[in-house]
Amino acid sequence: MKRVLLLIAVAGPLVLSWSCGGSPSNPTPQPTPTPTPAAEAPQVINGWNEQPVAAEATPPIVGLGQGVVVRASGFLAREQRYELEPIALWPAQPAYVRELVYDWEFEDGSFRMVRWDQPSFTLTLDGALANDGAVRSRARQVLDEIQRRTGLQAAIGAGGEVHIEVDPSVADLQAVAEARLSFRGATITGGTISFVNRQEITGGPGSSYHNTFLHEMGHIIGLAHSPDVGDVMTPAEGRGTTFDEYQRNEAIALHLIYFHREAGNRPPDRAPELGAAAAGSPRYTVIID
Ligand SMILES: [Zn+2]
């Protein structure tokens, strides 16, 4: 008996509200309760292979938006605001990353990471290069490797942000190529690579090095020079100039930069929102060789 009365008591107001409203509008939805962000021990992963990492967080318990520093052996010390998401650490030596990634001095004297923020770009082959099968094939191979490592989609076509040309005057610099970049703050917006001749683009017979195109495109996507002569980004003449793929530590750097970090990150691995207000663009935007 009591149960029946209870049902009627609930049903009553519902029926009244529909019959009295006379409007087809939806009933007001219940407000979704906003969960209070709890402070917690952050989950830490290896940014390269996504595996859990035993790390030391300072402070050990953090809430949403709070600054935290995370340290683990073999990884860069990471400093960022906590987003209630696993914190991805960068497996690398600080000196290596400083040289490969942070060798961009800004107008305010700081050194910061640069990268593309747009998901795709177009690469334009200048003049006769556009119809050169060997050049097109090489460009596609290089762009595929970049897409594999960064997720950046790149097409070959007219009017692109990245321009490829031959300029024999590059020989005056005692160089085989020169890369020039354009920026908006720490974000790369375009670039031009000038090769001393066509052979250096394809890396085939008659070229000084096999992979100059891949090396120069490494600059165009934000890398500087590697201290390891076995890396594609080595400025030296060594085995690094023979590979068609970025080597392991370069691949790790590109993965961290493009999947886990923002333009303007600071050494050793500090999120841009924690630094002083960023000013200007990189001071030097031309890289020779
Ligand atoms: Zn170079």
* Domain, as residue range, for 225: 115-288
Q: For the sheet containing 78-81, what is the strand order?
A: 56-58, 67-71, 78-81
- Given a cut of 90, is residue 17 above it in pLDDT? no
Contact 111, 283 (CB under 8 A): no
For residue 179, how far is its CA from the centre of ligand 1 (angstroms)?
8
- Whether 151 and 282 map to the same domain: the answer is yes
Do the beta carbons of residue 191 and residue 163 sit within 8 Å?
yes
pLDDT at residue 3 in the model: 34
The alpha carbon of 225 and the centre of ligand 1 are apart by a number of angstroms equal to: 6
Look at residues 130, 109, 64 and name the one whose alpha carbon lies nearest to residue 266.
Answer: 109
Q: In the block, which residue shows the tokens 């709070």? A: 66
Residues 127 and 246 in one domain: yes
CATH of the domain at 204: 3.40.390.10
Supply the pLDDT for residue 37. Answer: 60
- 215 and 78 co-located in one domain: no
| Residue 3 maps to a domain | no
pTM for the model: 0.86
What pLDDT, on a 0 to 100 scale, did the predictor assign at position 8? 33
Do 202 and 76 share a domain, yes or no? no
Decide if pLDDT at 18 tops 60. Answer: no
Domain end call among 57, 91, 125: 91
pLDDT of residue 38: 77
Residue 92 has pLDDT above 70, yes or no: yes
Give the span between the Cα atoms of 289 and 142, in whole angstroms.
Answer: 17
CA of 287 to the centre of ligand 1 (A): 6
Whether 185 and 232 share a structural domain: yes
- State the distance from the centre of ligand 1 to the C-alpha of 1, rounded, in angstroms: 86
Q: How many domains does the chain have?
A: 2
* 193 found inside a domain: yes
In a domain, 278, yes or no: yes
Rounded to the nearest whole angstrom, what is the distance from the C-alpha of residue 234 to the centroid of ligand 1? 7
Name which of 93-97, 246-250, 283-287 the model is least confident about: 283-287
User: Which among 9-13, 75-79, 279-283 has the top mean pLDDT?
Assistant: 75-79
Whether 71 and 192 map to the same domain: the answer is: no
Q: Are residues 143 and 54 in the same domain?
A: no
- Read off the pLDDT of each residue in 155-171 and give the average, rounded to a whole number: 97
pLDDT of residue 282: 93
Judge whether 27 lies within some domain. no
82 and 134 share one domain = no
Query: With pLDDT > 90 as the criterion, what percentage of the chain qualifies?
Result: 80
Residue 232 within a domain: yes
How far, in Å, from the CA of 218 to the mean position of ligand 1?
Answer: 8
- If asked whether residues 83 and 120 sit together in one domain, one would say no
Kindly state the tokens that stand for 105: 């001095």
Q: Are both 221 and 264 inside the same structural domain? A: yes
